[in-house]
Amino acid sequence: MEQWLMYTVIAVAAFAVSGALFALIFFRVGYRARQKKAESEIGSAEEEAKRIREEGAKNAETMKKEALLGAKEEILRQKNDAEKELKERRADVSRMERRITQKEETLDKKTEALERKSEQLDRKIKENEALHEQIEVLHQEEMKRLEQISGITVEEAKEELINRVESEVKHDLAQRMAELETQFKEEADAKAKNIISLAIQRCAADHVAETTVSVVSLPNEDMKGRIIGREGRNIQMLEKLTGVELIIDDTPEAITLSGFDPVRREIARITLEKLISDGRIHPSRIEETVEKATKEVEIGIKQAGERATFDVGIHGINPELVRMLGRLKYRTSYGQNVLKHSVEVAWIAGMIADELGVDSTVAKRAGLLHDIGKAQTHEMEGSHVELGVNLAKRYKESREVIHAIEAHHGDVEPETITAVIVQAADAISAARPGARREDLENYIKRLEKIEEIAKGFSGVDKAFAVQAGREIRVMVKPEEVNDDGMKVIAREMAAKIQEEVKYPGQIKINVIRESRAIDYAK
């Protein structure tokens, strides 16, 4: 058994050794084969590389030759182009040289001609100078002879001649100015009277006198008690909501409404009439009725403003200005309704503008809005002119309209013809008989007082109140009052009138100093 095992081991070992030998032999055979194959491939690669290098060298040589050939052709072409361009430039230069040569020849000829003319002029100048010297000598000799004959020098003769001419010219100028002034005054007065009279005739309007009170009729005396109410609650509510005082006195079947604000007074009147008509009079009903009456009056104000703009033919006015214009329906000035006055001023201004050839639309617009400041309440500070100017500026009225509003009472000097027209139209509307309610006796006394104050100043000859008391014309004695004294008298007179006399608007003091020289041609 052991022997068999040993033989087996030996056999396995022999088999392993023989396997290793076979493997070694096969490896060496394979290595040599691969080595031969590799050497063969390397040789082939070297040959291919040599071939490629040879072909590349050939191609490079060919490309080099082609590039050289192309470069030579390009150089030849550029050389030909350059030679062609050079020939053209040379031709242009030749033409220019010929032109320059021609111009130089022409200039030389002109220069020669000018030199000849200059020489001729120099000769003539010298001849003229010599002739002038001869003339001057002759003139001096002649002047000496004239001085010897006349017995006066040249300067004295000039001075005498100038004085004589100046005197004649002054006389003629003064005479002509006097004639023109007289002519212009006559023509202006005639034209102004014609225009104003035409405007007044064409615009005749009715005027209603309004006061600070309104009277409401009652159906019976029992209604007074119902209006007063229990413990006076109804009348207190009415007065509280409307701001108007209700006067219930012994006047039969009538109640008086008193208040400075005509709008509030109108609301109170409408409210009271509605309550009387309805018959239900208690605080809640009064409050409801006042609210309705307020809306009704506001609608009436708007309609009045729109009607005024429609009547005058002015459009494009801001709605707020139209409402303000409607409020003038409840404003009065010396008994004259301000809205009617504004419409009338607009019409008169438009007609005057048409006669003068001025834009009547602007004149009517300015006339319609000239008293718009009177629509503001007492809560707004400032005169109605200032308030009107502010309103016009706020609602984008034109500069010409704003200036007319500002100047219509003379607060500023009028700078446009429209402003002057509005001034005139305002004066015409306010001053004509029946326009404003004023006691005749008080009116006459006021005019007499103004004239009396004016005549009380030293040097005053005559004084006349004109333009319904809006102007006073004072004639002074020229021998006692000079031009500077006129200004002093006007200033002192204005201060005294302002202190002693009550009047609406403003009064213009016009001091006149006149010197007359009268002669007769026989």
pLDDT tens per residue, range 406-439: 888 777 888 888 888 888 888 887 765 555 555 4
361-401 per-position pLDDT tens digit: 888 898 888 888 888 765 567 778 888 888 888 888 888 98
Measured distance CA(363)–CA(420) in Å, rounded: 10
Model pTM? Answer: 0.46
pLDDT of residue 129 exceeding 70, the answer is: yes
Measured distance CA(357)–CA(352) in Å, rounded: 9
Q: What is the DSSP string of 5-61?
A: HHHHHHHHHHHHHHHHHHHHHHHHHHHHHHHHHHHHHHHHHHHHHHHHHHHHHHHHH
327: left (phi over 0), alpha (psi -120 to 50) or beta: alpha
28-47 per-position pLDDT tens digit: 667 677 777 777 777 777 77
Locate 446 and state its tokens. Answer: 């006021």
**Cα 41 to chain center, whole Å?**
105
**Beta strands across the sheet bearing 508-513:** 460-466, 471-476, 508-513
94-127 per-position pLDDT tens digit: 889 888 988 888 888 888 888 888 888 888 888 8
| The CATH number of the domain covering residues in 440-513 | 3.30.300.20
In this structure, are strands 245-247 and 254-258 parallel, antiparallel, or unpaired? antiparallel
449-480 per-position pLDDT tens digit: 888 888 888 888 878 776 666 778 888 888 88
The domain covering 213-431 belongs, at the CATH homologous superfamily level, to K Homology domain, type 1 (3.30.1370.10)
Exposed / middle / buried, residue 266 (Cβ in 10 Å: 0-12, 13-18, 19+): buried
Residue 257 bridge partners (DSSP): 214, 246
Locate 404 and state its tokens. Answer: 């007319």
Could you tell me the end-to-end alpha-carbon distance of the chain, in angstroms, rounded to an integer? 203
Contact of 423 with 413, CB cutoff 8 Å = no
Locate 198 and state its tokens. Answer: 């035409």
Residue 165: what pLDDT? 75
Burial profile 41-50: b = 16 or more Cβ within 10 angstroms, e = fewer: eeeeeeeeee
Task: Work out the angle between the directed axes of helices 384-394 and 399-407 (0-180°, nearest 10).
Answer: 170
